[in-house]
Amino acid sequence: MRDTTLVIMAAGIGSRFGGGIKQLAPVGPEGEIIMDYSIHDALEAGFNKIIFIIRKDLEADFKEVIGSRIEKIAKVEYVYQELEALPEGYRVPEGRQKPWGTGQAVLTVKGMVQEPFLVINADDYYGKEGFQKIHDYMVNEMDTDADVYDICMGGFILENTLSENGSVTRGVCTLNEDGTLKEVVETYDIEWRGNTLSARNEQGDLVRVSLKQHVSMNMWGLPPKFLDELERGFPEFLDALGENTAKAEYLLPKIIDRLIKSGRARVQVLETRDKWFGVTYQEDKESVIASIRRLIADGVYKEKLYD
Q: Which helix (H) or strand (E) holds 207?
A: none
Residue type, 153: M
Q: Enumerate the β-bridge partners of residue 157.
A: 214
Coil, strand, or helix at residue 183? strand
* Angle of helix 34-45 versus helix 128-140 axis, rounded to 10: 40
> What backbone torsions phi and psi does residue 268 show, to the nearest 5 degrees?
-85, 125
Alpha-carbon span 58 to 142, nearest angstrom? 34
Alpha-carbon span 143 to 149, nearest angstrom? 8
Q: Where are the domains of the chain?
A: 5-297
Q: Which of the residue ranges 104-113, 214-223, 237-246, 267-276 would you say has the lowest mean pLDDT?
A: 237-246
Q: State residue 22's pLDDT score.
A: 66
pLDDT at 49 over 50: yes
Q: Is the pTM of this model over 0.85?
A: yes
Contacts 24+ apart (CB under 8 A), 205-213: 209/158, 209/172, 210/158, 211/157, 211/158, 211/159, 212/157, 212/158, 212/159, 213/157, 213/158, 213/172, 213/173
Q: For the stretch 63-77, what's the b/e string if a residue is b when 16 or more beta carbons lie within 10 angstroms of its beta carbon?
A: bebbbeebeeeeebe
Coil, strand, or helix at residue 264? coil
Alpha-carbon span 234 to 119, nearest angstrom? 18
Considering the domain 5-297, what is its CATH architecture? Alpha-Beta Complex (3.90)
pLDDT at 53 over 50: yes
Number of helical (H) and strand (E) elements in the chain, helices listed first = 8, 12
Q: Average pLDDT, stretch 224-251?
A: 93
- Spatial neighbors of 235 by CB under 8 A, at least 6 apart, are 87, 90
pLDDT at 198 over 70: yes
Q: What percent of the chain has pLDDT over 70?
A: 96
- The string of pLDDT tens digits covering residues 141-193 is 999 999 999 999 999 999 999 988 889 999 999 999 999 999 999 999 999 98
Q: State residue 12's pLDDT score.
A: 73
DSSP characters for 108-136?
Answer: TTTTT-SS-EEEEETTEE--HHHHHHHHH
CB 104 within 8 A of CB 250: yes
Q: Kind of pairing, strands 5-9 and 49-54?
A: parallel
Q: State residue 283's pLDDT score.
A: 81
pLDDT at 16 over 50: no
pLDDT at 18 over 70: no
pLDDT at 20 over 60: no
- Spatial neighbors of 107 by CB under 8 A, at least 6 apart, are 227, 230, 231, 234
Q: What is the DSSP letter of 92?
A: P
Q: Which of the residue ranges 11-25, 105-119, 249-263 would you say has the lowest mean pLDDT?
A: 11-25
Q: State residue 279's pLDDT score.
A: 80
Q: State residue 293's pLDDT score.
A: 96
Q: Which helix (H) or strand (E) holds 185?
A: strand 181-193
Q: How many CB atoms lie within 10 A of CB 14?
A: 18
The pLDDT mean for the chain works out to 92
CB 34 within 8 A of CB 289: no
